[in-house]
Amino acid sequence: MPYTNVFLQIKENLQIAYRQAIDSDARLDELRKAGHGKFVAIFTEDQGFTENSNRFLPYVQELVAEFDAMQNSAHVAPETLEVFVKKLATLLQTLQVFKLSK
């Protein structure tokens, strides 16, 4: 498989995103209990996600499902990989900004 190193890096980043999503979703719960966080979705449709959630974990799960499909595919188009990596980067950047906004 030509993307072995890329896939290893993606897997590591997905694990980071998962851990950060758990922490961020717990913080979102706290904000909601305090009467904040009244938004419908974290990401907009034009950011490439099909998920529509006010929590981070469903977006991570969407990416994991896409990643699994890519790993099980005989051929992954470079464009497909590029779109995936952009979504993963958007998720990780958003998680980082949220984490720093305490």
Span 42-85, pLDDT tens digits: 998 889 999 999 999 999 999 999 999 999 998 899 999 999 99
CA nearest neighbour of 92 among 26, 14, 38: 14
What's this model's pTM, rounded to 2 decimal places? 0.91
Three-state secondary structure call for residue 48: coil
